A and B are shown apart, each in its own frame.
Chain A
Amino acid sequence: MNIDRYTCAEVFARLDDYLDRELDSAEVDLVRQHLETCEKCSSEYRFEAGVRENLKTRLRRIEVPTSLTAKVRAALSDQDATGSG
C-alpha cells in the first residue's frame, strides 16, 4: 500500500516517536508534511516538544558532590583490600 499522506490520528499515534527521533526517514517525512499543513497538530507538536525540552533542560541541572569520586574510590579500595573484589 502506497501511503502518501497521514491523517491527524496517524500523526498523533506517531507523535512520541517523532519527537524522540525514533521514526524512520519515510515516516518522518510524512509526519512533517502533515505538520506543515495542519495547524491543530502543529500546535500540539510544538507544545509537547516544548514540555520535553523544558523538563530535560531543568532535570539535567544537578550539582554533583565533589566528594563523590573520593568516596567511591575509597569504597572500591576497601573492597579490594578485603578480597571481595
Chain B
Amino acid sequence: MLDRAYSYALRLVRNRADAEDLVQEAALAAARGFSGFQQGTNFGAWYFRILTNCFYARHRRRETTADADLDEIPDLYLYERAADLGLHGTSTDPAGELLASIDRDQIDEALVSLPEEYRVVAALYFVQDFSYAEIADVVSVPVGTVRSRLHRARKLLQLRLWDVAREHGLVRGAPEGSS
C-alpha cells in the first residue's frame, strides 16, 4: 500500500522528499482517524482519499481553473499533430513513435504541471489504473465529474506533451504554429 501511495504522491508533487512527506502525513492521519474507516468498504480508496486531502491542504492554490480555456483545446490533439507529421500513413504505431521522442521526466513534468484537480484524477487514472467509480470514491465527486475532469486532463496533458516535444526540438519537422 505504501508503494502505491508513494507512486501516487510522486505524481502529485514535484519531488521525492515532498512525496515521502505526503505519504507519511497521510499514514499518520489514517492512523488517527482509523475509527472512521467502515469495515467492509474499500480500504485503498479510503487511504487514497486521506492522502488526496493532505495534498489539497498543503498544495492547493486557490486558483480557479478556467474550464472554458480547457474546452478550447481541440479533441484528438496529438492525433492531429501526428497527422501533421505524416505519421499516420508511415508508422504502424504513430502514438508510440510520437511519444518515444519524449522522455519519462518530461512526461512526469507535464502531469505535475496540470492544475491540481485535474492532476489528482489523472494520477489516479494513469498511475493507479483506477476506474471512474474508484476515482469518484477517492475524490468524493460524482462519476460524471470524474469523466469530465479526466477528459479535460487528458486534453491538457496532450497539449503539454506536444509543447514539451517542440520546445526540446524532439519532434522533427513539426510545422510552425502547430501548437
Contacts and interface: CB of A to CB of B under 8 A. Distances in A.
Main secondary structure of the interface of B (DSSP, over half): helix
B147 A17 contact: yes
B32 A79 contact: yes
A71 B24 contact: yes
B12 interface: no
Interface residues of A, number: 35
Contacts of A12: 75
DSSP class of A's interface residues: helix, strand, loop or mixed?
helix
Contacts of A62: 6-7, 10, 127
B11 interface: yes
B126 A68 contact: no
Interface residues of B, number: 41
A44 B80 CA distance: 9
A50 B94 contact: yes
Contacts of A16: 147, 150-151, 154
Interface in B1-19: 2-3, 6-7, 10-11, 16
Contact of B79 (A22, A44, A72, A79): A44
Interface in A34-81: 43-44, 46-52, 54-56, 58-62, 64-65, 68-69, 71-72, 75-76, 79-80
A65 B104 contact: no
Contacts of B10: 62
A62 B128 CA distance: 12
Given A12-B75, A51-B158, A56-B127, 15 more contacts: A20-B131, A43-B88, A47-B95, A54-B99, A55-B99, A58-B107, A59-B11, A59-B126, A62-B10, A64-B6, A65-B16, A68-B6, A72-B2, A75-B27, A76-B31
Interface of A: 12, 16-17, 20-22, 43-44, 46-52, 54-56, 58-62, 64-65, 68-69, 71-72, 75-76, 79-80, 84-85
